[in-house]
Structure 1
Amino acid sequence: MYEPIRTKSVHSTMAGTTSDFPHRSREEELDIQLAGHLAALLAVTDELRALAPSADLDAAAERLAEQVTRLRGGGLVRALPAGKPRDLQALHQRAHTLAGRALVVAASRADTAAAILAAERMDAHAAFLDPRELASH
C-alpha cells in the first residue's frame, strides 16, 4: 500500500543542503532581540530622564547605549522624546517590563553584562512602582 516518493522535496535546493538565502544563527537572533529590547528600554529611559532628570537615569542611559552599540556593532541613533509627556508611573512600568524581557534574552545567550544591567534596571523601576502594580501585570 505504501509507495515511495519519487520526486525531490520542494524544501531542498538544487545545490544540495545549502540554501540560496542567508540564515542567522541562534546567537545572532538573540543578539538582535536583546539589542531591540535594550534600545526600547533606552528610549523609555530617555523619556523618564526628560520628565524627571536624575543621575541614576543618566548613568543607566549611558550603559544601555553602550550595550546596544556593542550588540549592533556600532551606530546607535537616539531620538529625543517627543509629544506630550506621559505618565511617570506608566513609563516606569513599561521600563520594568522591557528590562524583564531583556533579562530573559540576555540569560538565554549568557550575556552577563547585559543580564546584570537589565536586572539592575528592573530593580530600579520596581523601587519606583507600587508592589501591587507589579503583581497585577
Structure 2
Amino acid sequence: MRKLIIATSRPDAVYSTGYSIIEPLKNCSIVFLKHMLVSNHIEKQVYARLTGTGYPAINENDLKEIKFPLPDLACQTLIGGELTEIEKTISLYSMYSNLLRKQRRGLMQKVLAGGMELGARFDAGIFRESALAGEIR
C-alpha cells in the first residue's frame, strides 16, 4: 500500500475499480486513518491477504477485516497532527539532503576537472587516472 490519495467526496466522480475507496465514519479522523493505512501494522495485514501474482489485489471484504488501534477522536486528532508534523519535517530533511547531494556532485566535478582551487595540499594536478580494479579488492 504505497499510494494513498485523500480526496474530498465527489458524488459526480467516477472512480477506478483498481482502487479501494475508504471513507472514515464519524468516530474516525481522516488524518489518523491516513497514517494508520501506511503503517507497518496495517501493511503486514494487507500483504497477508493479497491474492494474485501479476497484479496483486485485496478484495473489499478482506480489507474490511483489517484491525487497527482506534483511540477516541480527540486522541486521534492529536496523534494525527503529531505524525503530520513529523512527516513534514522528514520531507524538509529529505529535500535538504537532496540539495546537499547535488552540491557535493557539483563540487566533485569541479575538483576533478581542475576548475577549483583547493590550496597547495589539494592541487588538482595531483590527481592521476587509475582503474578502479587497481585501487580496491
Structure number with larger C-alpha Rg: 2
Is the helix fraction higher in 1 or 2? Answer: 1
Q: TM-score range by the shorter chain?
A: under 0.3
Question: Larger RCO: Structure 1 or Structure 2 (Cα < 8 Å, ≥ 6 residues apart)?
Answer: 1
When normalised by structure 2's length, the TM-score is 0.26
* TM superposition score normalised by structure 1: 0.26
